[in-house]
A and B are shown apart, each in its own frame.
Chain A
């Protein structure tokens, strides 16, 4: 199994508070991704990174920002959480843009 961890695994927060989710990899993969999964929508890409300090938007990036200061860490930040951001968040990694993606265990976020 690819060495991917996500923290926290569960979080409950209140509307308007900032939240940061962390994805950590031990595989030295260049590409890292953040997805969210909601009932009826499957997984949707939020942001991705193709190298340290190189990031780009996915299909549902509004309300989210990301940072990647080290190869192994990719942070997802909700500057001001809203109830619509209640979801399960998955991180993924891949060697290249067209390569197999390996997913982390997920973070369940609840915004009250």
Chain B
């Protein structure tokens, strides 16, 4: 399975944007880039996913590099509720491999 590399942790101030990088140099042509997050004591929650083009939804934006070897999840205005572990996952089927993710801390 293709692997992803994410920073262990990131800090942000409330109402500021957060840019979460993810490197996936061995991505295959059929792999989608998925982002999930997990709030403390909860199950993972879907955030966004994409294949080649940048994607936007009500939660976040996903910017995908032209060569698809990296991507960035963008939280436009972080709130305290966005403090969570964010997982970048490559998958073309049901197999979701959750790594350690990036722990995001939001300062008030």
Give the B-binding residues of A (Cβ under 8 A).
31, 33, 35, 40, 42-45, 48, 90, 92, 94, 97-98, 100-106
Contact flag A98-B92 (CB < 8 Å), given A42-B99, A42-B101, A43-B98: yes
Minimal Cβ-Cβ distance residue in A for B46:
A100
Overall SS of chain B's interface: loop
Q: In the complex the two chains form, what is the Cα distance from A94 to B96 in whole Å?
A: 12
**B45 — which chain A residues lie within 8 A by C-beta?**
103
Known contacts A33-B94, A42-B99, A97-B93; A105/B42 CB under 8 A: yes
A44 to B94, CA, bound (A): 12
* Contact-residue size bin, chain B (C-beta under 8 Å from the other chain): 20 to 34
Top 9 nearest A-B pairs by Cβ distance? A103-B43, A42-B98, A43-B98, A97-B94, A100-B46, A97-B93, A103-B44, A90-B43, A98-B93
Residue of B nearest to A91 (CB): B43
- B44: contacting residue among A44, A48, A90, A94, CB under 8 A: A90
In the complex, A59 Cα to B104 Cα: how many Å? 28
Which chain A residue shows the least CB distance to B1?
Answer: A59
C-alpha gap A42/B4 in the complex (Å): 13
User: Restricting to B11-69, which residues have a CB under 8 Å from any CB of A?
Assistant: 32, 34, 41-46, 49
Bound-state Cα–Cα, A50 to B100, Å: 27
